[in-house]
Chains A and B, each alone.
Chain A
Amino acid sequence: MGKMKVKAKAKNGVIKAKIQAKHDMLTYDQAKKKKVDANFITQMVGKVGDKVVFEVSTSQFLSKDPLFKFEFKADGFKDGDKLEMTWTDLSGATESASKKIKGIKK
C-alpha cells in the first residue's frame, strides 16, 4: 500500500488528520553505530487540491515511524476532496499518500 497511512475526518467545521509514516528516522548517532548514512524525514506537506493545509520541517529527533496529528478548518472543502500528504527525507527521497476526507457534507 505504501509507506504512509492517512486518515482525515471532518467534524463541526474542523478536519482532523492523523498520519502514520513509515521511516527509520535514523539520527546521526544511530547511523554512526549502524555504519550507514543518517536518514530521516525532513519535511512533510499536506495539501487538499493545491491548497497547503499542513507543513512541518522536522529534525532527526522524531520517533521511528512517526505519527503526526493536526487539524485545519473545513471551510471551502467539499465532499470528495482528498488530503494528499508528501514527505521528503534527507536522502532526497519522497513518498506520497492521499485519502478522501471523510465527513464533509455533500
Chain B
Amino acid sequence: MDRRKFLGLGLTAVVLAPMTASALDFRKEKPKAWTAHKVDEAVKALYGDVKLEESDKISLKTPKIASNGGAVPITIKSDIEAKTVTLLQDVNPESAVATWNVPDGGMVNFSLKIKMKGSGKVVAVIEGKDGKFYTASKSMEVALGGCEG
C-alpha cells in the first residue's frame, strides 16, 4: 500500500477515535516526524518550534563504540517529570527512532536496542510536564553499519 496513503488513513482514524485512552500513537498523530531526515526537522514536526535546553539531568547511555550497528543498546534515564521522551539520531535515513508517552506513575528509564547506519550522534529530547524541552546528546562510533544499506 502506498505509504503516504497509509499514513493519511491513520490520521483520519485518530481524529474520529475518542481521546480517552492515554496511549497516544505518535506515528499516527505526527507522521511528518517519522520521515524527517534531520534531527531538528523531526523535533520541529513532533513538538513545533520549541527551544531545547541542554540538561545534565538526562542520562543518555550509549556504548562508545558499538561493534554491531544492528543492535546498539541505548538507555535514557531522567528524574525530570516528563510527558514524552523522544530518541533521535543523525545517521539513519530518517532521524526519529522512538517516542515514549510517559503515563502517570511512569518513570523515565527506558532501554532499547536500535540500528545505527554508522557513527554519529544520538539525541534524547524530553518534553517536561513543566512545558519545557530538555535535551542531551552523545556521539558514538559504530564499527559495522546496521541498516545493510
Interface residues of A (CB under 8 A from B): 14, 25, 27-30, 33, 42-43, 45, 51-64, 66-73, 75-76, 90
Q: Which of A29, A30, A61, A69 contacts B110 (CB 8 A)?
A: A69
Interface of A is mostly: strand
Contacts of B94 in A (CB 8 A): 59-61
Q: Which of B70, B72, B103, B107 contacts A55 (CB 8 A)?
A: B103
Contacts of B105 in A (CB 8 A): 51, 53, 72-73, 75-76
Which of A25, A58, A71 has the most chain B CB within a 10 Å cutoff?
Answer: A58
B45 to chain A, nearest CB (A): 13
How far, in angstroms, from A25 to B22 measured CA to CA in the complex? 25
Contacts of A14 in B (CB 8 A): 107
How far, in angstroms, from A7 to B83 measured CA to CA in the complex? 25
Closest chain A residue to B110 by CB distance? A70
Interfacial residues of chain B within 2-20, with CB under 8 A of chain A in the complex: 6
Number of interface residues of B (CB under 8 A): 39
Closest chain A residue to B105 by CB distance? A73
Contacts of B27 in A (CB 8 A): 42-43, 57-58
**Per-residue 0/1 for B70-84: is the Cβ within 8 Å of any A Cβ (1 yes, 0 no)?**
111001000000000
Binds A, one of B51-59, B112-120, B127-135, B136-144: B112-120
Q: Which 5 A-B pairs have the closest CB atoms?
A: A29-B149, A57-B26, A69-B111, A63-B113, A63-B71
Contacts of A54 in B (CB 8 A): 100, 103, 106
How far, in angstroms, from A14 to B77 measured CA to CA in the complex? 14
Contact B98 A56 (CB under 8 A): yes
B42 to chain A, nearest CB (A): 10
How far, in angstroms, from A70 to B78 measured CA to CA in the complex? 12
Closest chain A residue to B68 by CB distance? A63
Q: Which of B96, B109, B146, B149 contacts A70 (CB 8 A)?
A: B109
Contacts of B149 in A (CB 8 A): 27, 29-30
How far, in angstroms, from A90 to B75 measured CA to CA in the complex? 25
Closest chain A residue to B71 by CB distance? A63
Contact A30 B147 (CB under 8 A): yes
Q: Which of B22, B75, B100, B115 contacts A61 (CB 8 A)?
A: B115
Contacts of A42 in B (CB 8 A): 25, 27
Closest chain B residue to A43 by CB distance? B25
Contacts of A61 in B (CB 8 A): 89, 92, 94, 97, 114-116, 147
